[in-house]
């Protein structure tokens, strides 16, 4: 298992001459996440976030400041998607990171030139970082699986396959959108448990799902599985992901082939790929399995992966209702929990996905599944918080929510933290609920 190395780009004493990058920014010089942006009417191209600025990778590629692999990476990132850059793998990505770290560091001799590559983020539009050929959503958040399973099977919440197979399904790539897209409440079929027949109309149980998104780098050819020991080198980086879900549609449609219209109306990702390189200091040991847990089959097991396969990322869900917005209140934090609450590592998800020969390609997106805490301190869905809708939560202003109401704005946030390192963030993963289309 090759893991991204910790090097001078992670030095906690590094600061940037971009002042907004120092202090509590999501994007200090230790982060340097990759995305796609446009300014005014110019064409979208790759960029790197630094404080409240964006460095233009297309311009950087023409600046004469880069050479070798770093230059190749910038050229690959000069178009409207990062797929060509993701296809190059870790080497060029790391070379670009190291060079940009030098150029953006306090004291850089090239500051005057680099200033010409920067745009204020507030004047830019952010786009999906890649053209997503395939989107797969997993179910690796074990406390989510337990919390939800308990609502249906109190004595036996996990299905027999859960601790053997990383459960996943194909999502819809075409409806993945970048943070900020409205989530229109979907219409659909649903049948109340006591109703004779289904009806068609707006979902009454619209929910969020807090997940991490995993962006695939080089990938594999059809028929050539990625061994667990090599899986890490195909993970380009992470984003936040909100797998919006219509629980009433899901309950009625999902047997026997799984979720479909309950999920494919929208999936939101945060705009920046926080790279595997940036995340290296925040890798941590995968939580130990229980004494009674089965040891996974060999194709899913790698000691190095167990040692470094989890991510020390604090994940939060915030909500702001229409009334809160009107009254000028800040979003309310529903909870915060660690991303270590995953039963399977990202490498295990990649190895499993490809073990039958299925191909993964640059720009493909994997969702981890909803990440929740065992208790209510950091759960990733209202389905869990409201006990399947039976126990609505009360917000500080007295409003209650079993599921999402029109006008609610949901914000996912993430922050990677580790002793001795500068914390890095992900940027918002945000969406506001708009009313269903009239029938």
Binding segment for a second copy (CB under 8 A), chosen from 183-191, 273-281, 284-292, 419-427, is 183-191
CB of 173 to a second copy, least distance (A): 6
Q: Between residue 66 and residue 85, which ones bind a second copy under the rule CB under 8 A? A: none
Decide if residue 98 touches a second copy (CB under 8 A).
no
CB of 20 to a second copy, least distance (A): 34
Is 302 annotated in a binding site? The answer is no
C-alpha separations of 397 from 320, 321, 392, 431, 436 in Å: 11, 10, 14, 21, 25
C-beta of 72 vs 253, nearer to a second copy: 253
Among 38, 175, 284, 336, binds a second copy (CB under 8 A): 175
Binding segment for a second copy (CB under 8 A), chosen from 111-119, 274-282, 336-344, 355-363, is 355-363
β 365-367/135-138 pair status? parallel
Query: What is the C-alpha separation between 63 and 223, in angstroms, rounded?
Result: 41
Q: Between residue 287 and residue 316, which ones bind a second copy under the rule CB under 8 A? A: 294, 297-299
Among 98, 111, 150, 191, binds a second copy (CB under 8 A): 191
Pick the catalytic residue from 10, 143, 144, 234: 144
Cβ atoms 236, 275 nearer than 8 A: yes
144 is catalytic: yes
Query: What is the C-alpha separation between 187 and 435, in angstroms, rounded?
Result: 10
Query: What is the C-alpha separation between 322 and 319, in angstroms, rounded?
Result: 10
Decide if residue 153 touches a second copy (CB under 8 A).
no
SS3 content of the chain, % helix, strand, coil (to 5): 25, 25, 50
Query: What is the C-alpha separation between 9 and 105, in angstroms, rounded?
Result: 10
* Closest C-alpha among 116, 3, 19 to residue 59: 116
Binding segment for a second copy (CB under 8 A), chosen from 58-66, 72-80, 255-263, 342-350, is 255-263
C-beta of 187 vs 233, nearer to a second copy: 187
Q: How many residues bind a second copy (CB under 8 A)?
A: 61
SS3 sequence of 293-328: CCCCCHHHCCHHHHHHCEECEEEEEEEECHHHHHCC
* Closest C-alpha among 179, 245, 206, 242 to residue 435: 206
Decide if residue 146 touches a second copy (CB under 8 A).
no
Task: Please give the distance of CA 266 from its chain centroid, rounded to a whole number.
Answer: 14
Interface positions with a second copy (CB under 8 A): 133-134, 136, 139, 159, 161, 164-165, 167-175, 177, 184, 186-189, 191, 197-200, 222-223, 225, 246, 249, 252-261, 264-266, 294, 297-299, 352-353, 355-361, 364, 437
Question: Which residues fall in the annotated binding site?
Answer: 137, 139, 153, 209, 211, 243, 250, 254, 263, 267, 370
Q: Where in the sequence numbering do the catalytic residues fall?
A: 144
């Amino acid at each position: 298992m090759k893991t991204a190395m910790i090097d001078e780009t992670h030095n906690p004493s590094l600061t940037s001459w971009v002042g907004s990058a120092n202090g509590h920014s999501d994007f200090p010089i230790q982060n340097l996440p990759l995305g796609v942006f446009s300014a005014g009417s110019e064409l979208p191209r790759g960029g790197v976030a630094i404080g409240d600025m964006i460095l233009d990778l297309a311009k950087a590629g023409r600046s004469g400041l880069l050479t070798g692999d770093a230059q190749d990476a910038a050229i690959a990132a000069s178009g409207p998607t990062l797929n060509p850059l993701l296809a190059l793998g870790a080497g060029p990505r790391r070379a670009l990171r190291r060079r940009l770290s030098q150029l953006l560091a306090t004291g850089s001799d090239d500051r005057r030139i680099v200033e010409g590559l920067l745009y204020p983020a507030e004047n830019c539009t952010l786009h999906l970082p890649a053209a997503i050929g395939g989107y797969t959503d997993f179910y690796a958040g074990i406390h989510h699986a337990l919390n939800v399973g308990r609502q249906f099977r109190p004595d036996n919440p996990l299905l027999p396959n859960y601790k053997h197979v990383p459960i996943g399904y194909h999502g819809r790539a075409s409806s993945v959108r970048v943070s900020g897209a409205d989530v229109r409440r979907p219409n659909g079929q649903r049948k109340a448990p006591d109703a004779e027949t289904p009806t068609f109309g707006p979902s009454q149980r619209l929910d969020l799902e807090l997940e991490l998104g995993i962006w695939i780098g080089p990938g594999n050819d059809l028929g050539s599985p990625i061994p667990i020991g090599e899986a890490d080198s195909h993970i380009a980086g992470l984003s936040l992901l909100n797998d919006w879900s219509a629980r009433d549609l899901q309950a009625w449609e999902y047997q026997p082939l799984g979720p479909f219209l309950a999920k494919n109306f929208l999936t939101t990702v945060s705009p920046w790929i926080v790279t595997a390189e940036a995340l290296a200091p925040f890798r941590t040991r995968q939580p130990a399995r229980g004494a009674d847990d089965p040891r996974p089959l060999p194709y899913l097991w790698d000691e190095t992966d167990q040692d470094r396969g989890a991510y020390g990322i604090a994940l939060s869900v915030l909500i702001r209702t229409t009334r809160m917005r009107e009254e000028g209140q800040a979003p309310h934090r529903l909870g915060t929990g660690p991303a270590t609450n995953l039963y399977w590592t990202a490498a295990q998800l990649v190895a499993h996905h490809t073990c039958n020969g299925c191909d993964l390609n640059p720009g493909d997106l994997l969702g981890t599944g909803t990440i929740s805490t065992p208790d209510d301190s950091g759960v990733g869905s209202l389905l869990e918080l409201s006990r399947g809708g039976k126990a609505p939560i009360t917000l500080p202003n007295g409003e209650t929510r079993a599921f999402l109401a029109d006008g609610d704005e949901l914000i996912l946030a993430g922050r990677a933290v580790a002793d001795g390192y500068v914390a890095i963030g992900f940027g918002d993963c945000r969406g506001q609920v708009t009313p269903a289309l009239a029938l």
